[in-house]
Chain A
C-alpha cells in the first residue's frame, strides 16, 4: 500500500486483506437493515474517475460510498482525453481543486492510478488499470470464497483464461496467495505472461492438471481483439461464450477428463464454460461487490485518519 492509496493487492499483506474482508462482513449486516447507511464518511467526497467505461464497477463504488454516507461525484473525463494521451499532472491538478477525500480511478493503461496517486494529495483507489491490477475485484472474489468456504488456508484456486491481459488474474493471484491459498493459472502458453511463476502461482498448460483437486475455479473473459494472430478456431469457440469479466467458482469439485485422458486446453476451456455461474450467483456477487468496496473505501479513509 502506497501510503493511504489502494493501487494493488501486491503491496498489501495478509492482515490488510483480512481487515478489509472483516469490514465487508460488517457491512453485509448493514446491507440487511432498513436504512442501509452508516455515518462513517458523512461530509466526505469521493470522486469516481473512470477513463474506461464500466457501469458495474462505477455503480458499485457509488453504492459503497453512499452506504458510508459520503458524497459521490462521477467525474467523467472529456471525450478527447479518453482517446488522446492524457496529461497526468493536468488531471491530478483538476482533481486537487475539487478537494476530494478519495479518488477512484479506472484506466485502460496500467500505471495511471499510480501516477495520479503520486501527484495527488488525496488517496487513490485503483478500480482497474490495464493488465496491472483490479484490487477491489479481487477483494470481492476473496469475499465470495470466504462466504462459501469459510477459509483460505489449504484451498486450491485455479484461474483459467488469458492471464497475460488480465488484471483480475494478477490481483487474485496476489490476494489468494497472501491469504494462504495455492493459486494455479491455466492457459495456452501464448496467454501465460513471462515470469508469471515469480509472482507465486503455478502455471499450467494442461487444464486437466490445473483442475485436479481445485476448490475454486475462475474463468476469465478472453477478448477477441487481444488474440493477436492466435488460432481462429479457438477464437471462434471463445467468441460464442458469454462475456462475464470474471467468475469465481466456489465449490468446484475435482475435475478430470471423463475418459481419464488428458483434456485438451481448448476442450477444457469449453468444459469450463459449462461450469459457469448462474445469473442468480452473479447478482449476489454484485451486491457482495458493493460490500467489498465499502470495506476498501472505509479502509482508505481509516488510513487517512491514522496518517
Chain B
C-alpha cells in the first residue's frame, strides 16, 4: 500500500515499545513512521488533527472468527476487516474453524488472497493443529506456517486427547509458533451453557463449571512445559486459570494468555434475562473470576486483550438458550468496553495499549505494536471520551450478536491507518478497499 505524507498533530502519543507517553506530532511517509516529536513543522500531505486523542499503535486482535470460507452469511473477510479497522484494529488473527477448516496451506493462501483484495485490516491466519479440527491427526504445521499462519489452534474444538496434545506441543517447535488452546475439559462442560453457580441454579440452565477451564489449563501448562513449547491460552475466564498461568510463568514456562472484553466487563449475572447474546464459550463467570481476570491483565499475567469476535446470524441466536451457538461479536466495542479499566485506574493508558498491540505482535512474531521511527505506520487514533450509542445494525460486522446493543459507549477509534493508509475515519467511514 503506497501512501503520501500524513501528519498526525497534537495527540497524546502512547507507544509501549519505547515507553513514550507525551503530546507530540507524528509524520507518516511511504507507509512508515518517519518522525515523532513535539512541534514537527507540517509541510505537504494530509493533516489529521489529533488534539485530545490518543495516538497509538494499531491494535492487533489475537482472536477473531472471520467465517470465510464457508459461513459468509455470518461474516466474511471484507466485513470482518471493516469492523476491525472501525474498532481501531489494524490487524486481526483469524481462527481456523472455517469450512473447510484452515488445516491446509491451500486454505491459508485463499484467506490471505481474499484479505489482500477485500480487507482494510491485515489478516493473520491461525492454522489448525489437527486435520479437520478433529483432534486426532496433526496438520502439516511447518507447511501451514510457511504459507503464512502465525499460530496453530483447534480453538473451540478442544483437543481432549492428552497424547495428541503432547505431540502437537512437541512438533510445534519445528514450526516455531504458539499453540493456542481453548481450555475447556469437555467431559466436565458436558451440556453446560452458563457458568455453574448461583446464576445457573436460578436460571435452571445446565452449568459449565470453572474447574473445566482450570483443569485444562493445568494440563496444557504441564504438557507445554514438558515439550518446551509456547502455549498461548485463549480467552481466560477463571480466577483459577489466572493463578495457574501466573505461577507457571514464574517457574519459566513459555506461556502467554489473552482475555476478552466481555470476561473483563460482564459477569454471569448478565445472563439472567436469558439473552443468547450473553452466551459465550467459555461462559461469563462470577464476580470473583472477573476481578481476577482484571487483576491478571493489570499485573501482566494476561498479556493481551482479544475479542473472540464470533459472528452468528440473528436466526441462529433467536432460539432457546441451550440451542443457540455461543459467542459474540466484539471488534467494534473492544475499545470502549476495555477503556473502563483505564477509567477505573486499574490499567495505565500505556499498559492498555500494550495489551492491545505490542504484546499481541510479540505473541505472533509479527511487526506492529510500535510507533518507533521506521516501523510500519499501523496507527489508531482513540478518543477516550467520545460518547456514542452502539447499534450493531449500523456496525460493519454482518452479525449483530452483541451483549452491548443499545448501550452507551465511552471512547472509540476515530481513525485507523494500516501501512500508512487512512482506512477508517469516524466522520467518513471505512475508506479502503
A: residues with CB less than 8 A from B are: 10, 85-89, 107, 109-112, 114-115, 118, 129-133, 167, 170, 193-196, 198-199, 228
Contact A130 B204 (CB under 8 A): yes
**Residue of A whose beta carbon sits closest to that of B199:** A195
Known: A110-B321, A132-B204, A170-B204. A87 touches B315 (CB 8 A): yes
Contact A87 B318 (CB under 8 A): yes
Contact B320 A193 (CB under 8 A): no
Residue with the highest number of chain B CB atoms closer than 10 Å, among A107, A111, A132: A111
Shortest beta-carbon distance from A199 to chain B in Å: 7
B: residues with CB less than 8 A from A are: 190, 196-205, 207, 209, 273-274, 315, 318-324
Q: Which of B198, B205, B324 touches A110 (beta carbons < 8 Å)?
A: B205
Contact A193 B200 (CB under 8 A): yes
Q: Which of B199, B201, B322 touches A109 (beta carbons < 8 Å)?
A: B322
Shortest beta-carbon distance from A4 to chain B in Å: 17
Contact B197 A195 (CB under 8 A): yes
Contact B320 A112 (CB under 8 A): yes
**Residue of B whose beta carbon sits closest to that of A108:** B320
Shortest beta-carbon distance from A13 to chain B in Å: 17
Known: A109-B321, A115-B274. A131 touches B198 (CB 8 A): no
CA A200 to CA B199, docked complex, whole Å:
14
Residues of A within 8 A of B207 (CB): 193-194
Residues of B within 8 A of A110 (CB): 203-205, 274, 321
Shortest beta-carbon distance from A282 to chain B in Å: 25
Residues of A within 8 A of B200 (CB): 193-195
Contact B205 A10 (CB under 8 A): no
**Residue of B whose beta carbon sits closest to that of A92:** B318
Residues of A within 8 A of B204 (CB): 110-111, 129-133, 167, 170
Shortest beta-carbon distance from A78 to chain B in Å: 15
**Residue of B whose beta carbon sits closest to that of A167:** B204
Q: Which of B197, B205, B273, B315 touches A131 (beta carbons < 8 Å)?
A: B205
Contact A194 B197 (CB under 8 A): yes
Shortest beta-carbon distance from B254 to chain A in Å: 35
Shortest beta-carbon distance from A144 to chain B in Å: 23
Residues of A within 8 A of B203 (CB): 110-111, 132
Residues of B within 8 A of A129 (CB): 204
CA A31 to CA B95, docked complex, whole Å:
64
Contact B321 A111 (CB under 8 A): yes
Residue with the highest number of chain B CB atoms closer than 10 Å, among A88, A107, A118: A88
CA A86 to CA B319, docked complex, whole Å:
5
Shortest beta-carbon distance from A124 to chain B in Å: 13
Q: Is the interface of B mostly helix, strand, loop or mixed?
A: loop
Residues of B within 8 A of A167 (CB): 204
Residues of B within 8 A of A10 (CB): 202
Contact B201 A195 (CB under 8 A): yes
Q: Which of B196, B315, B318, B322 touches A194 (beta carbons < 8 Å)?
A: B196
Residues of B within 8 A of A109 (CB): 320-323
**Residue of B whose beta carbon sits closest to that of A88:** B318
Shortest beta-carbon distance from B253 to chain A in Å: 31
Contact B274 A194 (CB under 8 A): no
Q: Which of B198, B274, B320, B324 touches A198 (beta carbons < 8 Å)?
A: B198
CB-CB nearest 8 A-B residue pairs: A111-B274, A132-B204, A195-B198, A131-B204, A85-B323, A85-B319, A110-B204, A109-B320
CA A301 to CA B274, docked complex, whole Å:
25
Contact A193 B201 (CB under 8 A): yes
Contact A88 B197 (CB under 8 A): no
**Residue of B whose beta carbon sits closest to that of A90:** B318
Residues of B within 8 A of A170 (CB): 201-202, 204
CA A132 to CA B205, docked complex, whole Å:
7
**Residue of B whose beta carbon sits closest to that of A228:** B190
CA A87 to CA B318, docked complex, whole Å:
6
Shortest beta-carbon distance from B332 to chain A in Å: 24
**Residue of B whose beta carbon sits closest to that of A170:** B204
Contact B202 A87 (CB under 8 A): no
CA A198 to CA B199, docked complex, whole Å:
10
CA A10 to CA B204, docked complex, whole Å:
12
Residue with the highest number of chain A CB atoms closer than 10 Å, among B197, B204, B205, B321: B204
Residues of B within 8 A of A199 (CB): 198, 201-202
CA A220 to CA B154, docked complex, whole Å:
42
Contact B205 A88 (CB under 8 A): no
Residues of B within 8 A of A193 (CB): 200-201, 207
14 A-B pairs with CB atoms under 8 Å apart are: A85-B323, A87-B315, A87-B318, A109-B322, A110-B205, A111-B204, A111-B274, A111-B320, A114-B273, A194-B200, A194-B201, A194-B207, A198-B198, A199-B202
Shortest beta-carbon distance from B196 to chain A in Å: 5
**Residue of A whose beta carbon sits closest to that of B205:** A110
Residues of B within 8 A of A115 (CB): 274
- 9 other contacts beyond A111-B321, A194-B201, A198-B198, with CB at 8 A cut-off? A85-B323, A86-B319, A87-B315, A110-B205, A111-B320, A130-B205, A132-B205, A194-B197, A195-B200
**Residue of B whose beta carbon sits closest to that of A164:** B201
Shortest beta-carbon distance from A86 to chain B in Å: 6
Shortest beta-carbon distance from A171 to chain B in Å: 10
CA A89 to CA B199, docked complex, whole Å:
25
Residues of B within 8 A of A85 (CB): 319-320, 323-324
Residues of A within 8 A of B324 (CB): 85
CA A132 to CA B315, docked complex, whole Å:
24
CA A135 to CA B316, docked complex, whole Å:
29
CA A248 to CA B181, docked complex, whole Å:
49
Shortest beta-carbon distance from B319 to chain A in Å: 4
CA A193 to CA B196, docked complex, whole Å:
9
Residues of A within 8 A of B320 (CB): 85-86, 88, 107, 109, 111-112
Shortest beta-carbon distance from B406 to chain A in Å: 13
Known: A110-B274, A114-B273, A114-B274. A196 touches B201 (CB 8 A): yes
Contact A111 B196 (CB under 8 A): no
Residues of B within 8 A of A196 (CB): 201
Contact B273 A194 (CB under 8 A): no
Shortest beta-carbon distance from A255 to chain B in Å: 26
Residues of B within 8 A of A131 (CB): 204-205
Shortest beta-carbon distance from A227 to chain B in Å: 13
Contact B321 A87 (CB under 8 A): no
Residues of A within 8 A of B202 (CB): 10, 170, 199
Shortest beta-carbon distance from B90 to chain A in Å: 37
Known: A86-B319, A194-B196. A111 touches B205 (CB 8 A): yes
**Residue of B whose beta carbon sits closest to that of A115:** B274
CA A220 to CA B416, docked complex, whole Å:
60
